[in-house]
Chains A and B, each alone.
Chain A
Amino acid sequence: MTTPSPAHDLLTVTGLSVKLRTASGPATVVDDVSLAVAPGRILGIAGESGSGKTMTGMTLVGLPPAGATVTGSIRLDGRELTTLSEPGWAAVRGGQIAMVFQDPSSSLHPMLTMGRQLTDHMRRHLGLSRKAATTRSAELLDLVRLPDPKGALRLYPHQFSGGMRQRVAIAVALAAEPRVLIADEPTTALDVTVQAGIINLLDELRHDTGMSILLVTHDLGVISALADEIAVFYGGRIVESGTAAQVLGGARHPYTRGLLEALPRLSTETRRDGRGFVPIPGVPPTPGSLPAGCAFHPRCAHAAPACQESRPELLPLAEPPAWHRLACHVDPWRP
């Protein structure tokens, strides 16, 4: 695995913050996030519910919630996106950066045919004729392994199973040949058997099209299967990042460790002595009322006094490979 240099990166996010006005005052739901994805690679974003994963994804397609303040920089192939006007964004969205949503049933319009939903933006972005767009739609559906792609164009979303719907949603996202795909929990609503198919599909797609994928999920298994690099979110910040092997194989942040420990383990021994599932105590924080210092410290078994005082920076770990990064004052698993 090579260390990507910034020059190679297709999408670079630096110091991205999203501030919302909520009923209980302003809340920073994404805080100083920096990411980079190279062409053909998959960056996994992991973290519990509410940690700001979706918000990050939506901001990257220029669709933060109304009234949000976005700071920082988003660069696509060197071009700054945060300064774009709405029409400018509309050209980037779908055409350059596309998004797949978590729930395939709700992200497709129930009253429009698949054909219509596949072609309308394709015609806009690629300037295709209706006929050409239809042909291409069928090809796309074939690409995502939908049986009878031509017939499927005339069908409505409810006529498909969940897994097929997610394939269609992916096809919709791919329709205008985007260079970056943001997949927000693309398999969470699906069965494992179906999920396996989608995982393989995404993997093939990035190889075949050279597309970069930002894979947002709380399922570490899915991340492990797909991601080249991983960023772990907690309370809107990245607490640890690195290659999949580094983060999952040699996790250094107590939170990352906690997540891994909390996973159910298939083993008789752990079940007998009750170690199968080690929960992280406490509940995730809500944005707007994050604890001072390290946001994780109230739930952390290794918390030191310093953790309550200052927020740890996300810093590269001293030893190579240099881009395994960690935000922890204590770093209890330092080798």
Chain B
Amino acid sequence: MTISPAAPLLQVRDAVVEYTRTDRPAVRALAGVSFQVAEGEMVGVVGESGCGKSTLARAMTGLAPLASGEILFAGRPVEPLRRRRRPARLLPLQMIFQDPYASLNPRRRISAQLADVIRATGKGAPGHRPIGDLLERVGLPAAAADRYPHEFSGGQRQRIAIARALATQPSLIVADEPVSALDASAQAQVATLLRKIAREDGVTLVLISHDLAVVGALCDRVVVMYLGEIVEDGPTERVWHAPRHPYTQSLLRAVPVPDGTGRKPMALAGEVPDPGRPPSGCRFHPRCPLAMDPCREEAPSHGDVDGGGSVACWAVHSPEARANAIRA
């Protein structure tokens, strides 16, 4: 794949995704999200349940049509997947789903499922790998091809799903909570595998997870979402050690650390609001310890911060507001 090094591999521009519901206002699961992924990067997306992480993943791969905005892959738009076959140029953009039990057809052998994908990608394509190789690449014996999904554990199934993605020779894999459904040891195994693939095969990875630790341990960059919006974006180290958005701060403080000291995590007040009726202004303000008048009235826009990345917060970007906040 040849793209100019300057252009990012994936660009999300002001993406909006809505789900319509009968009898109730539509949910804006993505309320104008913009970010980019450069080739070879490993980007993590974190946020609470329902904040739109999966929707973002689906939008990026074309499974969720955009209400507005655009998403470009390798410089060209990602068309939503309709009844037509997916265009070949989008095949390098793959996705891995959360539920390893649902992502394989329980009624077909592994070999049949992989063969379908290989055939679709084009058997003669350069660099194409036979099924056995694919399975070995993800740490399974080639003989596994003859078996049915129910004969595998969750971690193994997730590996098979990764093998299926690899069959298309992907350049970007969007992984939506790939390890959340797995046991601690399986989690580590699959996460390690993903990182290995990303490093060794040069696959760009967007990893979505509600588990901050997983993202922190794997990704170079972190994107923090809240209620359909990105509130903070930056290199993992900066976000971890100097989180600027009050939400990111709360999120980090809520993670319990297994050090045996008995230290209690800090709770974040309030509940995630109904995305169908988001709060005015900054969407986080009802739960924000630093909330002040401008927050209630106008949504903050993203501004760069020291140490890399950007944050959308009035308390960060308006000095006088900040002063007020501190005084209060």
Contacts and interface: CB of A to CB of B under 8 A. Distances in A.
A and B touch in the complex (CB under 8 A): yes
Interface of A: 48-49, 161-164, 191-197, 199-200, 203, 218-228, 243-249, 258-260, 262-268, 270-271, 274, 276-280, 283-284
Contacts of B191: 264, 277
What secondary structure prevails in chain A residues at the interface with B?
helix
A136 B216 CA distance: 44
Nearest to B154: A49
Nearest to B51: A191
Interface centre among A192, A199, A228 (most CB of B within 10 A): A192
B236 interface: yes
Nearest to A266: B216
A203 B260 contact: no
Contacts of A274: 192, 195
A75 B259 CA distance: 32
A191 B210 contact: yes
24 contacts: A48-B184, A161-B272, A164-B271, A191-B210, A192-B211, A193-B48, A199-B256, A199-B264, A199-B267, A203-B264, A221-B255, A244-B261, A245-B261, A249-B260, A249-B261, A262-B187, A265-B216, A268-B236, A271-B217, A271-B218, A277-B191, A278-B188, A279-B185, A284-B183
A262 B184 contact: yes
A228 B261 CA distance: 10
A268 to B, nearest CB: 5
Chain B interface extent, by class: 35 or more
A224 B259 contact: yes
Nearest to A276: B217
Nearest to A251: B260
Contact of A258 (B48, B185, B186, B195): B185
Contacts of A228: 262
Interface string B29-48: 00000000000000000001
A273 to B, nearest CB: 11
B31 to A, nearest CB: 19
B67 interface: no
Contact of A220 (B218, B258, B264): B258
A190 B265 CA distance: 14
Given A283-B153, A284-B183, A224 B256 contact: yes
Contacts of A48: 183-185
A93 to B, nearest CB: 30
A264 B211 contact: yes
Nearest to A284: B183
B49 A191 contact: yes
Contact of A218 (B183, B217, B266): B183
Contacts of B153: 283
B240 interface: yes
A224 B257 contact: yes
Interface string B244-260: 00000011011111111
Contacts of A196: 253-254, 256, 264-268
A279 B210 CA distance: 20
Contact of A265 (B192, B213, B220): B213
Closest 3 CB pairs of A and B: A248-B260, A221-B256, A264-B217
B237 interface: yes
Interface in B165-202: 183-189, 191-192, 195
A224 B258 contact: yes
B155 A268 contact: no
Contacts of A191: 48-49, 210
A263 B49 contact: no
Interface of B: 48-49, 153, 155, 183-189, 191-192, 195, 210-214, 216-220, 236-237, 240, 250-251, 253-268, 271-272
Contact of A266 (B185, B186, B240): B240
B260 A192 contact: no
A195 B271 contact: no
Interface centre among B186, B213, B260 (most CB of A within 10 A): B260
Given A192-B210, A194-B267, A200-B264, 17 more contacts: A191-B49, A192-B211, A195-B254, A196-B253, A196-B268, A224-B261, A224-B263, A243-B260, A248-B259, A249-B259, A263-B213, A263-B258, A267-B216, A268-B237, A277-B188, A277-B218, A284-B185
A315 B266 CA distance: 36
A260 B304 CA distance: 36
A192 B212 CA distance: 9
Contacts of A243: 260
B43 to A, nearest CB: 13
A274 B196 CA distance: 9
A68 to B, nearest CB: 24
Given A268-B236, A271-B217, A279-B192, A218 B184 contact: yes
A281 to B, nearest CB: 8
A161 B49 CA distance: 11
Contacts of A194: 267
A279 to B, nearest CB: 4
A163 B254 CA distance: 14
Contacts of A260: 258
A225 B259 CA distance: 9
B199 to A, nearest CB: 8
A249 B263 CA distance: 13
Contacts of B268: 193, 196-197
Given A196-B254, A270-B217, A245 B260 contact: yes
A264 B256 contact: no
Contact of A163 (B187, B250, B261, B271): B271
Interface centre among B212, B236, B265, B272 (most CB of A within 10 A): B265
A193 B260 contact: no
Nearest to A221: B256
Contacts of B255: 192, 221
B184 A193 contact: no
Nearest to A265: B217
Interface centre among A161, A200, A266 (most CB of B within 10 A): A266
A63 to B, nearest CB: 25
A277 B217 contact: yes
Nearest to B209: A264
